[in-house]
Amino acid sequence: MKHQCMIVLDFGGQYSHLIARRVRDLGVYCEVKPYTVPVAQLQTTQPLGIILTGGPNSVYADNAPRCSKEILELGIPVLGICYGAQLMAYLADGGVGAAPVGEYGRVDLNLINEQSPLFAGVTKQSTCWMSHTDSIQRLPAGFEAIAQTPNCPVAAMENKNQKLYAVQFHPEVQHTQFGQMILDNFLKTICGCTGDWRMSGYVERTIAALREKIGTQKVICALSGGVDSTVAAVMLHRAIGKQLTCVFVDHGMLRKNEGDDVERVCRDTFDMNFIRVNAQDVFLNNLRGVIDPEAKRKIIGETFIRVFEQESKKIGKVGFLVQGTIYPDVIESGAGDSAVIKSHHNVGALPDVVDFDEIIEPLRMLFKDEVRRAGIELGIDEALVWRQPFPGPGLAVRILGEITPAKIALLQEADAIFRDEIAIAKMDRAISQYFAVLTNIKSVGVMGDGRTYDATIALRAVTTSDFMTAEFVPIPYEVLAKVSSRIVNEVGGVNRVVYDITAKPPGTIEWE
C-alpha cells in the first residue's frame, strides 16, 4: 500500500531539514523538494499537504524565489511558514512589505480565532519564535488573521474554505511553546494524515524493493565503517545475502578498536562476504610530511579510491554499487536555491573505478536519526548504531600537523577516554558530536618531580540540529576534570587538556 506523503518546499531557509524531521517525528512521511519543482511532478506523489518553508529573501524582490500560484489552487491543504507565509499572501494578491519593527527570538503570541483548527489545544496566550523583517500588511481576499503579536498584526492567517494556512513564526523550533501541536493539527486534522508511518515499515518495504530490483546480480559496497555505510550494507545483506560483497578499506586512522568492531558486526554477526583491506602503511606513506588539512583530505580520498579499485578488480563485474548517501547529503548538495554545503561525499569518485551498471542508495530518503532507528530495526548492535559522526579521513583531520603512527595511537587513547567518560556521565545521547583533537602545540608541564614538554589535547563537544550551526555543550566541570585527569595520567606524551567553547560559526565543528 502506498504510504501517505507530505511535501516540504524549500525556499533556502535554514530550517527546511528541521521541518521535515518534525513532520516525520509525528509519524508522517515527507520529502523536501526545491521550490522550482514543476507542479505536475508534485502531483505525481499525491501529497496530502504541502508546507512552504522559510527563507532569507523578501517576496517582493525581483529575484525572490517563488513557486507557482497553482500550488494554492490544487485543493490540498498548504501551510506557509515565515517566508512561506509571506509568499502565500503575495501569491494570493495580499500585501507584504518591510515591517515597522522586526521580531527576533521569543515573542508573545495571542490567538484572535481560538476556533481555528490550526490552533486546536493551543492556549490563547503563548510564546513563539520569530525571525523576520518583512510582514503581511494586507490580507488576501478570503483570508482572516487568526493570531497576532505586539508588533505583528498577522502572525497567522487562514482561508478555511481553500485549506490555506500560514504562520509568521517557526512552529518547528523548540522555542515555540505549542509548535509541535500546531504542526500535528495541520497534518492530522487539516490534511487527514493518519500518522502511522514507522521506520519498521520503511525498512521492510525497502528490503523488498531492493530484492526485486537486484534479482540475481552481484552488488559491491565500499564500507567506510561509519553508521550510514554499515546500515546500508546490512540492509542490502538482508535483501540479497551473499550476492553482496563489502570492501572495508582500513586506512589506520579510525577510532580505537573501530575497525575490529565493524568486522565483527559484518563478518561474525551477519555473516557477510566481507573483505578487510589493512592499508595503514600505504596511507601513512602517502601522508608523510603533509601538514595542510585540505591536502590530507585529497590524499586520503585518492588513496582510498586506488586501494578500493585494486580490490574491486578481483571481484569483477557487478550489477550495482552501494552508497550510504542519506537525506541531508542530498539536500546539502543543492536543492533549489539552498546553499551547497558540501559536494556528494560518501564515496567520492568510486563510480569512475568500479565496473557496475547502477548506484543503489537505500538510505537516500532518511535523516541521521532515522538511519540509526533503521539500524536498530535491522538488529545492529546499539553501541555501533549510536557511534558519534566520524569524518571520512578519520583522525587525520583531528591531528594538526603531520600524521604519524605515534600521534594516531596517542589520539585514539585520549579520544576513547573522553567518549568513555561522556557515556558514564550519561550525556552520550544528548550531545550531537564530541571528540578529542591532538593539537600541534607542546607546552611545559610538571609530572611527579620532573619537567615535561608534551602535547596538548583539545576536547570538542557540540549540540546541533542540522550540523550547519552548532553551540558548545556546557559539560559539567567535574566531568571535564575527570577526563583531563585520566588523559594526562593514562596517555603518555600529554600534559595539558583544554576545552573548546567556540560556536559554529565562527568556528567549525571539526578543527581541520
Catalytic residues, by residue number, are 82, 170, 172
Please tell me the distance from the alpha carbon of residue 327 to that of residue 193, in angstroms, as a whole number: 22
Region for 48 from its dihedrals, namely left if φ exceeds 0, alpha if ψ lies in -120 to 50, beta otherwise: alpha
CA angle 213, 214, 216 (to 5 degrees): 135
Nearest to 189 by CA among 181, 197, 177, 178: 181
Distances (CA, A) of 122 to 114, 193, 413: 8, 20, 51
CB atoms within 10 A of CB 280: 16
| Cα–Cα distance measured from residue 147 to residue 108, given in angstroms and rounded to the nearest whole number | 10
Instruction: Check: CB of residue 49 under 8 Å from CB of residue 190.
Output: yes
Please state, in angstroms and rounded to a whole number, the distance separating the CA atoms of residues 30 and 187.
11
- Rounded to whole angstroms, the Cα distance separating 512 from 493 reads 22
Nearest to 312 by CA among 217, 231, 246: 246
The three cell numbers of residue 395 are 583522525
Separation between Cα atoms, residue 353 and residue 301, nearest integer Å = 13
Identify whether the C-beta of residue 326 lies closer than 8 Å to the C-beta of residue 375. Answer: no
Strands of the 152-159 sheet, one edge to the other: 30-34, 6-10, 49-52, 78-81, 164-167, 152-159, 144-149, 95-111, 125-138
Backbone angles phi, psi at 449, to 5 degrees: -105, 10
Between the alpha carbon of residue 60 and those of residues 11, 133, 145, the distances in Å are: 14, 13, 21
C-alpha 482/C-alpha 477 separation (Å) is 9
Q: Is residue 473 within 8 Å of residue 429, measured between CB atoms?
A: no
